[in-house]
Amino acid sequence: MAKHTSGHTSSHKHKKQFGQNFLNNGRIIDQIVAAIRPQPDDHMVEIGPGEAALTAPLIEQVHTLDIIEIDNDLIAPLKIRFASKPAFNLHHTDALKLDYASLLNASKDKLRIVGNLPYNISSPLMFHLLTYAQHIQDMHFMLQKEVVNRITAQPGIKAYGRLSVMIQYRCQTESLFTVGPENFTPPPKVDSAIIRLIPHTQKPFIADDETTFNNLVRQAFSQKRKTLRNNLKGWLSAEHIESCGIDPSTRAETISVEMFVKLANLYAQTHPNEHKT
């Protein structure tokens, strides 16, 4: 595959602890940028630019590009290549700990977040980002294809689980296209895929207490082969579950986001002073 380096060559040693697999195919990079559709006024945030395969085209198309990079060895090369660009803002920090609201420079500003996310931190990073959902316009991520399948899965499909419910509660989700291992250096052992997440401006279903909702969903999926009656024992009785229009003998993987919200809201109403963990 042709290297896509904008005239730049790198001797960077890829680091396993950061899950580094860098895109090397210009056609795929162009496809990703086309899916993002960057506009000049966009406030773009790129997480983990690596060798800048996405950074190079994005920085030419937007007025503001905040770049989040944790690897010390990549800071100097990024500065050398892009410090003269007006859009360039580099943050040498951990994306899992960053206060994304601190990047905003105007109240009407919303962030558009992109990244080829390391597989080992993709789920916790997405959960962290979703705490800033009101400040985010959309997110485009390269993830392990299996993770994309789980996020976008519908009830009744084997891949459907806690990750599906928690992200679909907060976002519209769309799997865009698959990217094979041969498009990375070094090649990972699995297929990747591009996902688009658009935080709901108004959630279709509102949990009365989001901590209770989060904890109930975790509990419902704690033993996937068991029924809701068993997994939610000590939370809700079979009669409570039935009152939400749900068969207590069914499994969590068959229950829609709306139904989980109903169960959590019933628990919050019947146990107003309790927040189960």
pLDDT above 50: residue 6: no
Q: Are 195 and 174 in contact (CB under 8 A)?
A: yes
13-49 residues labelled b (16+ CB within 10 A) or e (exposed):
eeeeebbbbbbbbbebbeebbeebebeeebbbbbbbb
Give the residue from 270, 113, 125, 271 showing the smallest Cα distance to 196. 113
Q: Which has the higher per-residue pLDDT, 117 or 226? A: 226
pLDDT band at 277 (very low <50, low <70, confident <90, very high): low
pLDDT in tens, 66-112: 999 999 999 999 999 999 999 999 999 999 999 999 999 876 789 99
* pLDDT per residue as tens digits for the range 54-68: 999 999 999 999 999
> What gap in Å lies between CA 22 and CA 187, rounded to an integer?
8
261 near 205, Cβ under 8 Å?
A: yes
Nearest CA-CA partner of 50 in 62, 68, 35: 68
Given this model, what pLDDT does residue 107 score?
64
CATH of 210-270, one of 1.10.3720.10, 3.40.630.10, 3.40.80.10, 1.10.8.100: 1.10.8.100
List Cβ<8 Å contacts ≥24 apart for 158-163: 158/253, 160/253, 161/221, 161/224, 161/252, 161/253, 162/217, 162/218, 162/221, 163/123
Please report which residue ranges of the chain form alpha helices under DSSP H: 26-36, 55-59, 72-82, 122-130, 145-152, 162-170, 210-220, 228-231, 238-243, 257-270
Whole-angstrom distance, CA of residue 165 vs CA of residue 151:
8
Q: Residue 188 has what pLDDT? A: 86
Residue 20 binned pLDDT confidence (cut-offs 50, 70, 90): low
Put residue 37 in one of left, alpha, beta given phi > 0 → left and psi -120 to 50 → alpha.
left
CATH code at 16-199: 3.40.50.150
Residue spans per domain, the chain: 16-199, 210-270
Q: What is the dihedral of CA 95, 97, 101, 103, to 10 degrees?
A: -50
DSSP letter for 251, please: B
CA distance 36 to 112: 9
